[in-house]
Amino acid sequence: MSLSKSGYIKAVAVHMKTSLGRPMENAKEIVRQAVHYTKNQADLIVFGELSISGYSCGDLFL
């Protein structure tokens, strides 16, 4: 159901395991999750901060 019909939106917050320093792998998982939830009528899909980079890439450079 969309916002225009009900006045509400279906929002999804995705928590996923990321691979440190593997942005392509993380991006593929984000797309996979987005497709899945779009098929399940999600109007808004949000992912964690720095999900593509794996968040703590700074640790790789210490």
Q: What is the DSSP letter of 39?
A: H
Cβ contacts of residue 44 below 8 Å, gap of 6+?
9, 10, 11, 12
Q: How do residues 32-60 score in pLDDT, each as one tens digit?
A: 999 999 999 999 999 998 889 876 656 66
Rounded to an integer, what is the distance from CA 23 to the centroid of its chain? 13
Rounded to an integer, what is the distance from CA 8 to the centroid of its chain? 21
Domain boundaries, the chain: 10-61
| Mean pLDDT of the region 4-23 | 88
User: What is the rounded CA–CA span in Å between residue 33 and residue 27?
Assistant: 10
The pTM assigned to this predicted structure is 0.77
User: What is the rounded CA–CA span in Å between residue 36 and residue 2?
Assistant: 17
Q: What is the pLDDT of residue 62?
A: 60
